[in-house]
């Protein structure tokens, strides 16, 4: 039994996963405080009010303290602004990766430390373990069918020892069962979907409104030989691998294979043109220096998007500028739809080695 003096701050969104996380820690003897982050929207927005209300209901039910923190400015500057700028650069961002890096395990982890909490907990499906053989902390995939380790690759050694994922060993159905059996008031609440700060509209409309774009700048659809194929209606409408909604037809399927913001062009090609032999990634974070040393070519697996399968590759991490790391990956077999702006995450079996931002395909 954990000492009751061990203080845990639990990120509570008002959903089932974070609520069960708080419940489990309370049962294990932790001194639990729940915190709900206000990340976007105006005060009084229905969705914000519902989530805060649900989190408070659970906290009252569990007889734990609950606080609300307004992080809308931090979220705007670090996540929403990044999201919009990346699309305007012809890239495809991953706001969940940035939110976990900058907000949940950036600002909130620092908040927990400054306010004398021993641990920060959340309802993520991933494992944190201390590996005695490696003599370091490891982030590991969850084998419960809902692994979220991909969006957590920016965690560092010093972060891992202060973080708990209480539901990491449970499947989603088991988590909901625990909620029901313990009478949690959110046991039947549906899971949230899509980008949390975009509600009831397409990302294109969101970016146009936020960036005050009355009209998107049209440009040329081209092929790999720079032959003009037609006119596109704005680069933020497209992503690599897209073949629907292009508004152009040639009697056979065409796919977006490249987006060039400087030239305002969208390159189209056949399915075979989507495959790449490798990639270059920047802003690389390495969690395990023991398993992924600098300047040494090693064999690993990598995932280039959250819902993609891992693929075998050889990888070398190298320094690029002051305190910056890049990675060069060569795939064992060509990989489809390598996308600038998305994250590539490195794995060795079930251990997350680190990851970075895709800059270009090879």
Mean pLDDT, rounded, for 146-170 = 96
Residue of higher predicted confidence among 206 and 251: 206
Average pLDDT rounded to a whole number, residues 283-291: 95
211 catalytic per annotation? no
What are the C-alpha distances in Å from 298 to residues 23, 277, 310, 345, 347?
42, 16, 16, 14, 11
- Residue 3 pLDDT grade (very low, low, confident, very high; cuts 50, 70, 90): very low
**256: pLDDT strictly greater than 80:** yes
Query: What is the number of other CB atoms lying within 10 angstroms of the CB of residue 60?
Result: 12
pLDDT digits 0-9 by tens, 91-110 = 999 999 999 999 999 999 99
Closest CA to 268 of 249, 251, 255, 259: 255
pLDDT at position 46 is 62
Calculate the alpha carbon distances from 206 to 41, 197, 310 in Å.
13, 9, 32
Beta bridge partners of 256: 268
Write down the catalytic residue from 96, 99, 168, 313: 99
Q: In the 3-class helix/strand/coil scheme, how is the chain assigned residue by residue?
A: CCCCCCEEEEECCCCHHHHHHHHHHHHCCCEEEEEEEECCCCCCCHHHHHHHHHHHHHHHHHCCEEEEEECHHHHHHHHHHHHHHHHHCCCCCCHHHHHHHHHHHHHHHHHHHHCCCCEEECCCCEEEEEECCCCEEEEEECCCCCCCHHHHCCCCHHHHCCEECCCCCCCHHHHHHHHHHCCCCCCCCCCCCCCCCCCCCCHHHHHHHHCCCCCCCCEEEECCCCCEEEEECCHHHCCCCCCCCCCCCCCCCCEEEEEECCCCEEEEECHHHHEEEEEEEEEEEECCCCCCCCCCCEEEEEECCCCCCCEEEEEEEEECCCCCEEEEEEEEEEEECCCCCCEEEEEECCEEEEEEEEEEEC
Express each pLDDT in 294-316 by its tens digit.
Answer: 889 999 999 999 989 999 999 99
Residue 2 has pLDDT above 80, yes or no: no
Residue 229 above 90 pLDDT? yes
Residue-wise pLDDT tens digits, 39-66: 987 655 666 788 999 999 999 999 999 9
Catalytic site includes residue 168:
no
pLDDT band at 191 (very low <50, low <70, confident <90, very high): confident
Domains assigned to the chain: 7-123+166-181 (3.40.50.620), 215-269 (2.30.30.280), 274-361 (2.40.30.10)
Q: Which of 84, 96, 168, 196 is catalytic?
A: 196
Percent of the chain with pLDDT over 70: 97
Q: In percent, how much of the chain has pLDDT > 90?
A: 83
pLDDT at 170 over 70: yes
pLDDT, residue 43, reads 59
| Mean pLDDT across 204-211 | 93
| Residue 251 predicted with pLDDT over 90 | no
Q: How far apart are CA 1 and CA 45, in angstroms?
A: 41
> Per mean pLDDT, which range of 22-36, 93-107, 234-248 is the poorest?
234-248
N-terminal to C-terminal alpha carbon distance within the chain: 52
């Amino acid at each position: 039994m954990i000492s009751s003096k061990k203080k845990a701050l639990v990120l509570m969104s008002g959903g089932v996963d974070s609520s069960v996380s708080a419940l489990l820690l309370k049962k294990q003897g932790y001194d639990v405080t729940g915190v709900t982050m206000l990340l976007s929207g105006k005060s009084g927005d229905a969705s914000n009010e519902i989530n805060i209300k649900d989190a408070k209901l659970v906290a009252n039910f569990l007889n734990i303290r609950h606080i609300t923190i307004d992080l809308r400015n931090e979220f705007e500057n670090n996540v929403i602004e990044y999201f919009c700028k990346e699309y305007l650069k012809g890239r495809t961002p991953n706001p969940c990766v940035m939110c976990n890096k900058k907000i949940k395990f950036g600002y909130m982890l620092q908040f927990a430390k400054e306010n004398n909490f021993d641990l920060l907990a959340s309802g993520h499906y991933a494992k944190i373990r201390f590996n005695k053989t490696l003599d370091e902390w490891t982030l590991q995939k969850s084998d419960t069918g809902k692994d979220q380790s991909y969006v957590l690759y920016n965690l560092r050694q010093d972060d891992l020892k202060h973080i708990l994922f209480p539901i990491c060993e449970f499947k989603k159905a088991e988590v909901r069962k625990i909620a029901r059996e313990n009478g949690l008031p959110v046991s039947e609440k549906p899971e949230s979907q899509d980008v949390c700060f975009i509600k009831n509209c397409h990302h294109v409309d969101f970016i146009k409104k936020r960036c005050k774009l009355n009209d998107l700048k049209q440009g040329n659809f081209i092929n790999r030989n720079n032959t003009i194929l037609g006119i596109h209606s704005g680069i933020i409408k497209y992503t690599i691998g897209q073949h629907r909604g292009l508004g152009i037809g040639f009697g056979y399927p065409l796919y977006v294979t490249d987006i060039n913001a400087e030239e305002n062009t969208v390159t189209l090609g056949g399915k075979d043109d989507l495959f790449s032999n490798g990639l270059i990634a920047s802003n690389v974070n390495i969690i395990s220096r023991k398993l992924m040393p600098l300047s040494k070519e090693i064999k690993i697996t990598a995932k280039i998007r959250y819902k993609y399968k891992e693929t075998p590759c050889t990888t070398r991490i190298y320094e690029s500028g002051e305190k910056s790391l890049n990675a060069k990956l060569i795939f064992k077999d060509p990989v489809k739809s390598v996308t600038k702006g998305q994250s590539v995450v490195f794995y060795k079996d079930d251990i997350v080695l680190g990851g970075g931002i895709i800059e270009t395909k090879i």
